[in-house]
Protein backbone atom coordinates (compact mmCIF):
# COMPACT_ATOMS: atom_id res chain seq x y z
CA UNK A 1 0.00 0.00 0.00
CA UNK A 2 1.32 3.44 -0.94
CA UNK A 3 1.90 5.85 1.96
CA UNK A 4 0.03 9.14 1.65
CA UNK A 5 1.52 12.48 2.77
CA UNK A 6 -0.43 15.68 3.33
CA UNK A 7 1.68 18.66 2.17
CA UNK A 8 0.13 22.00 3.04
CA UNK A 9 1.06 24.98 0.91
CA UNK A 10 1.84 22.77 -2.08
CA UNK A 11 1.58 25.70 -4.49
CA UNK A 12 4.50 27.45 -2.79
CA UNK A 13 8.18 27.27 -3.69
CA UNK A 14 9.21 24.86 -0.93
CA UNK A 15 5.92 22.94 -0.91
CA UNK A 16 6.09 22.32 -4.65
CA UNK A 17 9.60 20.92 -4.48
CA UNK A 18 8.66 18.70 -1.53
CA UNK A 19 5.62 17.35 -3.39
CA UNK A 20 7.64 16.65 -6.54
CA UNK A 21 10.32 14.80 -4.58
CA UNK A 22 7.75 12.75 -2.65
CA UNK A 23 6.05 11.74 -5.90
CA UNK A 24 9.41 10.78 -7.41
CA UNK A 25 9.98 8.54 -4.37
CA UNK A 26 6.64 6.79 -4.83
CA UNK A 27 4.52 8.48 -2.16
CA UNK A 28 0.94 9.59 -2.74
CA UNK A 29 0.65 13.33 -2.08
CA UNK A 30 -2.41 15.19 -0.88
CA UNK A 31 -1.51 18.83 -1.36
CA UNK A 32 -3.39 21.80 0.04
CA UNK A 33 -3.95 25.15 -1.66
CA UNK A 34 -5.88 28.25 -0.63
CA UNK A 35 -7.90 28.11 -3.83
CA UNK A 36 -8.64 25.30 -6.26
CA UNK A 37 -7.75 27.75 -9.05
CA UNK A 38 -4.12 26.85 -8.25
CA UNK A 39 -4.61 23.12 -8.83
CA UNK A 40 -3.65 23.11 -12.52
CA UNK A 41 -0.59 25.24 -11.76
CA UNK A 42 0.55 22.77 -9.09
CA UNK A 43 0.16 19.80 -11.41
CA UNK A 44 2.08 21.58 -14.15
CA UNK A 45 4.87 22.45 -11.70
CA UNK A 46 5.42 18.95 -10.35
CA UNK A 47 5.23 17.50 -13.87
CA UNK A 48 7.85 20.01 -15.05
CA UNK A 49 10.03 18.83 -12.15
CA UNK A 50 9.97 15.32 -13.58
CA UNK A 51 7.33 13.84 -11.28
CA UNK A 52 4.23 11.86 -12.26
CA UNK A 53 1.13 13.62 -10.90
CA UNK A 54 -1.03 10.47 -10.96
CA UNK A 55 -0.73 10.13 -7.18
CA UNK A 56 -1.25 13.85 -6.55
CA UNK A 57 -4.53 15.02 -5.01
CA UNK A 58 -5.38 18.67 -4.36
CA UNK A 59 -7.50 19.87 -1.44
CA UNK A 60 -8.51 23.40 -0.47
CA UNK A 61 -7.60 24.49 3.06
CA UNK A 62 -7.63 27.85 4.79
CA UNK A 63 -5.22 28.61 7.64
CA UNK A 64 -8.00 30.56 9.37
CA UNK A 65 -10.80 28.01 9.01
CA UNK A 66 -11.37 24.59 10.58
CA UNK A 67 -13.14 23.35 7.47
CA UNK A 68 -11.50 20.41 5.74
CA UNK A 69 -8.48 19.87 7.99
CA UNK A 70 -9.62 16.61 9.58
CA UNK A 71 -10.63 15.15 6.23
CA UNK A 72 -7.34 16.25 4.63
CA UNK A 73 -5.26 14.52 7.31
CA UNK A 74 -7.39 11.36 7.37
CA UNK A 75 -5.66 8.36 5.84
CA UNK A 76 -2.26 10.07 5.75
CA UNK A 77 0.79 8.47 7.31
CA UNK A 78 2.63 11.80 7.49
CA UNK A 79 1.78 15.50 7.46
CA UNK A 80 4.21 18.18 6.28
CA UNK A 81 2.92 21.63 7.24
CA UNK A 82 4.65 24.05 4.89
CA UNK A 83 1.90 26.65 4.33
CA UNK A 84 2.42 30.02 5.97
CA UNK A 85 1.98 33.66 5.01
CA UNK A 86 5.33 35.16 3.91
CA UNK A 87 5.92 38.77 2.95
CA UNK A 88 9.03 40.94 2.94
CA UNK A 89 7.36 44.28 3.58
CA UNK A 90 5.87 45.27 6.89
CA UNK A 91 2.10 44.65 6.98
CA UNK A 92 -0.14 47.45 8.19
CA UNK A 93 -1.34 45.18 11.00
CA UNK A 94 1.19 42.59 12.26
CA UNK A 95 -1.69 40.25 13.11
CA UNK A 96 -2.42 39.94 9.39
CA UNK A 97 0.73 37.81 9.28
CA UNK A 98 0.98 36.44 12.83
CA UNK A 99 -2.60 35.20 13.27
CA UNK A 100 -2.77 32.92 10.18
CA UNK A 101 0.73 31.58 10.83
CA UNK A 102 -0.12 30.51 14.38
CA UNK A 103 -3.67 29.41 13.60
CA UNK A 104 -2.60 27.39 10.57
CA UNK A 105 0.15 25.62 12.48
CA UNK A 106 -2.25 24.85 15.32
CA UNK A 107 -4.82 23.39 12.91
CA UNK A 108 -2.22 21.35 11.03
CA UNK A 109 -0.60 19.82 14.12
CA UNK A 110 -3.92 19.07 15.82
CA UNK A 111 -5.36 17.52 12.64
CA UNK A 112 -2.24 15.42 12.14
CA UNK A 113 -2.22 14.08 15.70
CA UNK A 114 -5.98 13.48 15.63
CA UNK A 115 -5.50 11.44 12.45
CA UNK A 116 -2.82 9.31 14.13
CA UNK A 117 0.00 10.15 11.73
CA UNK A 118 3.44 8.73 12.41
CA UNK A 119 4.97 12.20 12.26
CA UNK A 120 4.09 15.81 11.50
CA UNK A 121 6.89 18.03 10.20
CA UNK A 122 6.44 21.78 10.55
CA UNK A 123 8.29 24.28 8.38
CA UNK A 124 9.48 26.99 10.74
CA UNK A 125 12.33 29.36 9.86
CA UNK A 126 15.85 30.28 10.81
CA UNK A 127 14.16 33.47 12.03
CA UNK A 128 12.83 31.44 14.97
CA UNK A 129 16.45 30.75 15.98
CA UNK A 130 18.72 33.63 15.06
CA UNK A 131 17.23 36.38 17.23
CA UNK A 132 18.21 34.57 20.42
CA UNK A 133 20.41 36.65 22.74
CA UNK A 134 23.98 35.72 21.83
CA UNK A 135 27.56 36.96 21.77
CA UNK A 136 29.19 37.98 18.50
CA UNK A 137 31.15 34.72 18.25
CA UNK A 138 28.18 32.49 19.06
CA UNK A 139 27.41 29.51 16.81
CA UNK A 140 23.63 29.15 16.66
CA UNK A 141 22.13 25.72 17.28
CA UNK A 142 18.66 24.22 17.67
CA UNK A 143 18.88 25.17 21.36
CA UNK A 144 18.62 28.85 20.46
CA UNK A 145 15.15 30.39 20.41
CA UNK A 146 14.01 33.76 19.18
CA UNK A 147 11.95 35.30 22.02
CA UNK A 148 8.39 35.28 20.58
CA UNK A 149 7.36 38.40 22.50
CA UNK A 150 10.39 40.57 21.72
CA UNK A 151 8.95 43.96 20.74
CA UNK A 152 11.55 45.03 18.17
CA UNK A 153 10.94 42.05 15.87
CA UNK A 154 9.11 42.37 12.58
CA UNK A 155 5.80 40.66 11.96
CA UNK A 156 7.33 37.83 9.89
CA UNK A 157 9.91 36.91 12.53
CA UNK A 158 7.29 37.08 15.27
CA UNK A 159 4.91 34.92 13.23
CA UNK A 160 7.51 32.16 12.80
CA UNK A 161 8.65 32.25 16.42
CA UNK A 162 5.08 32.09 17.78
CA UNK A 163 3.91 29.48 15.28
CA UNK A 164 6.76 27.13 16.12
CA UNK A 165 6.19 27.60 19.85
CA UNK A 166 2.54 26.74 19.27
CA UNK A 167 3.50 23.50 17.52
CA UNK A 168 5.72 22.37 20.39
CA UNK A 169 3.12 23.40 22.98
CA UNK A 170 0.50 21.23 21.27
CA UNK A 171 2.87 18.26 21.01
CA UNK A 172 3.81 18.58 24.69
CA UNK A 173 0.21 18.98 25.84
CA UNK A 174 -0.80 15.87 23.90
CA UNK A 175 2.22 13.79 24.91
CA UNK A 176 3.30 13.53 21.29
CA UNK A 177 6.61 15.39 21.21
CA UNK A 178 8.37 12.50 19.46
CA UNK A 179 5.78 12.69 16.64
CA UNK A 180 6.74 16.28 15.82
CA UNK A 181 9.81 17.50 13.93
CA UNK A 182 10.59 21.06 12.87
CA UNK A 183 12.71 22.32 9.98
CA UNK A 184 14.26 25.80 10.29
CA UNK A 185 15.42 26.84 6.80
CA UNK A 186 17.36 29.97 5.92
CA UNK A 187 16.96 31.92 2.68
CA UNK A 188 15.72 29.28 0.25
CA UNK A 189 16.73 29.62 -3.40
CA UNK A 190 17.12 27.29 -6.38
CA UNK A 191 15.29 26.36 -9.60
CA UNK A 192 11.73 27.62 -9.96
CA UNK A 193 8.81 25.30 -10.65
CA UNK A 194 6.61 28.15 -11.89
CA UNK A 195 6.91 31.78 -12.98
CA UNK A 196 6.35 32.99 -9.42
CA UNK A 197 9.82 33.75 -7.97
CA UNK A 198 8.45 33.96 -4.45
CA UNK A 199 10.09 36.01 -1.75
CA UNK A 200 13.54 34.49 -1.27
CA UNK A 201 14.44 34.12 -4.95
CA UNK A 202 13.46 37.75 -5.53
CA UNK A 203 16.80 38.79 -3.99
CA UNK A 204 18.63 37.10 -6.88
CA UNK A 205 16.05 38.39 -9.33
CA UNK A 206 16.60 41.99 -8.21
CA UNK A 207 20.36 41.68 -8.61
CA UNK A 208 20.03 40.34 -12.13
CA UNK A 209 17.45 42.99 -13.03
CA UNK A 210 19.67 45.81 -11.77
CA UNK A 211 17.03 47.00 -9.33
CA UNK A 212 19.65 48.94 -7.33
CA UNK A 213 22.58 50.99 -8.66
CA UNK A 214 24.97 49.12 -6.37
CA UNK A 215 24.83 45.67 -4.81
CA UNK A 216 24.17 46.06 -1.07
CA UNK A 217 26.15 44.23 1.59
CA UNK A 218 23.09 42.26 2.68
CA UNK A 219 24.23 38.86 3.93
CA UNK A 220 21.80 35.96 3.71
CA UNK A 221 21.93 32.37 5.05
CA UNK A 222 21.27 30.72 1.67
CA UNK A 223 20.16 27.13 1.21
CA UNK A 224 19.15 25.12 -1.84
CA UNK A 225 15.43 24.40 -2.09
CA UNK A 226 16.17 20.74 -2.78
CA UNK A 227 18.19 20.48 0.42
CA UNK A 228 15.20 21.99 2.21
CA UNK A 229 12.82 19.50 0.59
CA UNK A 230 15.11 16.56 1.32
CA UNK A 231 15.43 17.66 4.96
CA UNK A 232 11.64 17.67 5.36
CA UNK A 233 11.35 14.17 3.95
CA UNK A 234 14.25 12.89 6.03
CA UNK A 235 12.70 14.39 9.18
CA UNK A 236 9.44 12.69 8.23
CA UNK A 237 10.96 9.21 8.16
CA UNK A 238 14.07 9.26 10.37
CA UNK A 239 13.73 7.35 13.63
CA UNK A 240 15.87 9.96 15.40
CA UNK A 241 14.22 13.12 14.00
CA UNK A 242 11.22 13.16 16.32
CA UNK A 243 11.21 15.89 18.98
CA UNK A 244 13.96 17.78 17.12
CA UNK A 245 14.30 21.06 15.28
CA UNK A 246 16.90 21.21 12.51
CA UNK A 247 18.61 24.29 11.10
CA UNK A 248 18.88 24.05 7.30
CA UNK A 249 21.08 26.98 6.30
CA UNK A 250 24.63 28.00 5.52
CA UNK A 251 26.54 30.80 7.18
CA UNK A 252 25.45 34.11 5.61
CA UNK A 253 27.12 35.29 2.42
CA UNK A 254 26.66 38.67 0.80
CA UNK A 255 24.61 39.71 -2.18
CA UNK A 256 27.91 41.18 -3.37
CA UNK A 257 29.34 37.66 -3.53
CA UNK A 258 26.17 36.42 -5.24
CA UNK A 259 26.51 39.11 -7.90
CA UNK A 260 30.13 38.07 -8.54
CA UNK A 261 29.06 34.44 -9.00
CA UNK A 262 26.32 35.45 -11.45
CA UNK A 263 28.68 37.65 -13.49
CA UNK A 264 31.29 34.90 -13.70
CA UNK A 265 29.00 31.96 -14.44
CA UNK A 266 26.22 33.66 -16.41
CA UNK A 267 28.02 36.39 -18.37
CA UNK A 268 25.28 36.45 -21.00
CA UNK A 269 22.73 37.41 -18.31
CA UNK A 270 24.87 39.87 -16.38
CA UNK A 271 24.39 43.10 -18.34
CA UNK A 272 22.11 44.65 -15.71
CA UNK A 273 23.99 43.42 -12.65
CA UNK A 274 25.59 46.40 -10.89
CA UNK A 275 29.38 46.29 -10.97
CA UNK A 276 29.81 48.42 -7.89
CA UNK A 277 29.48 47.00 -4.39
CA UNK A 278 27.71 49.07 -1.78
CA UNK A 279 29.89 49.35 1.34
CA UNK A 280 28.39 48.22 4.61
CA UNK A 281 28.08 51.79 5.94
CA UNK A 282 26.31 52.92 2.78
CA UNK A 283 24.00 49.89 2.89
CA UNK A 284 22.96 50.98 6.37
CA UNK A 285 22.31 54.50 5.09
CA UNK A 286 20.34 53.23 2.08
CA UNK A 287 18.18 51.11 4.39
CA UNK A 288 16.67 54.32 5.75
CA UNK A 289 15.05 54.93 2.36
CA UNK A 290 14.74 51.49 0.73
CA UNK A 291 11.92 49.40 2.31
CA UNK A 292 13.34 45.94 1.57
CA UNK A 293 16.74 46.87 2.98
CA UNK A 294 15.08 48.49 5.97
CA UNK A 295 13.02 45.40 6.76
CA UNK A 296 16.15 43.24 6.54
CA UNK A 297 18.51 45.71 8.22
CA UNK A 298 19.71 43.19 10.76
CA UNK A 299 21.26 41.14 7.90
CA UNK A 300 23.53 43.99 6.78
CA UNK A 301 27.10 42.91 7.41
CA UNK A 302 25.84 39.87 9.32
CA UNK A 303 28.52 37.50 10.59
CA UNK A 304 26.27 34.90 12.19
CA UNK A 305 27.30 31.26 12.13
CA UNK A 306 25.15 28.13 12.39
CA UNK A 307 25.75 24.53 13.37
CA UNK A 308 25.44 22.48 10.17
CA UNK A 309 26.26 19.15 11.79
CA UNK A 310 22.64 18.07 12.54
CA UNK A 311 21.29 18.72 9.04
CA UNK A 312 24.26 17.01 7.42
CA UNK A 313 23.69 14.01 9.69
CA UNK A 314 19.99 14.03 8.82
CA UNK A 315 20.72 14.17 5.08
CA UNK A 316 23.78 11.90 5.34
CA UNK A 317 25.63 14.39 3.11
CA UNK A 318 26.82 18.02 3.05
CA UNK A 319 24.56 20.85 1.97
CA UNK A 320 24.83 21.84 -1.68
CA UNK A 321 27.38 24.45 -2.77
CA UNK A 322 25.98 27.98 -2.51
CA UNK A 323 27.79 29.32 -5.62
CA UNK A 324 26.29 26.40 -7.58
CA UNK A 325 22.89 27.12 -6.05
CA UNK A 326 23.10 30.81 -6.97
CA UNK A 327 24.06 29.89 -10.54
CA UNK A 328 21.17 27.43 -10.78
CA UNK A 329 18.76 30.06 -9.48
CA UNK A 330 20.01 32.62 -11.99
CA UNK A 331 19.68 30.19 -14.89
CA UNK A 332 16.13 29.35 -13.86
CA UNK A 333 15.16 33.02 -13.71
CA UNK A 334 16.73 33.63 -17.13
CA UNK A 335 15.07 30.62 -18.73
CA UNK A 336 11.70 31.84 -17.50
CA UNK A 337 12.48 35.38 -18.69
CA UNK A 338 11.92 36.80 -15.22
CA UNK A 339 14.79 39.31 -15.25
Catalytic residues: 160
How far, in Å, CA of 76 to CA of 22, rounded? 13
Chain mean position to CA 104: 16
Q: What is the largest CA-CA distance in the chain?
A: 59
CA distances from 122 to 9, 102, 104 (A): 11, 12, 11
Question: Which residue, 13, 4, 12, is CA-closest to 56?
Answer: 4
Which of helix, strand or coil describes residue 220?
strand
How far, in Å, CA of 313 to CA of 215, rounded? 35
Four-point Cα dihedral 106, 122, 237, 8, nearest 10: 80
CA distances from 242 to 220, 309, 317 (A): 28, 17, 20
Amino acid sequence: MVDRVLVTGVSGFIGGHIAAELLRRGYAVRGSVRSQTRAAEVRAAVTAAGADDTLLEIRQLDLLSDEGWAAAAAGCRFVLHVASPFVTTKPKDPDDLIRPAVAGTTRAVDAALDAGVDRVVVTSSLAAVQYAPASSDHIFTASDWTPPDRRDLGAYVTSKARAERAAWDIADRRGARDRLAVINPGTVIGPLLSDDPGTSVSAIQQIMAGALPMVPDLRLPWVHVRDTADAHIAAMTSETAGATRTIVATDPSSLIDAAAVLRERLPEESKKIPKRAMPTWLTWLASVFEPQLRDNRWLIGSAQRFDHTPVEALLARPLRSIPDTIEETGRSLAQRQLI
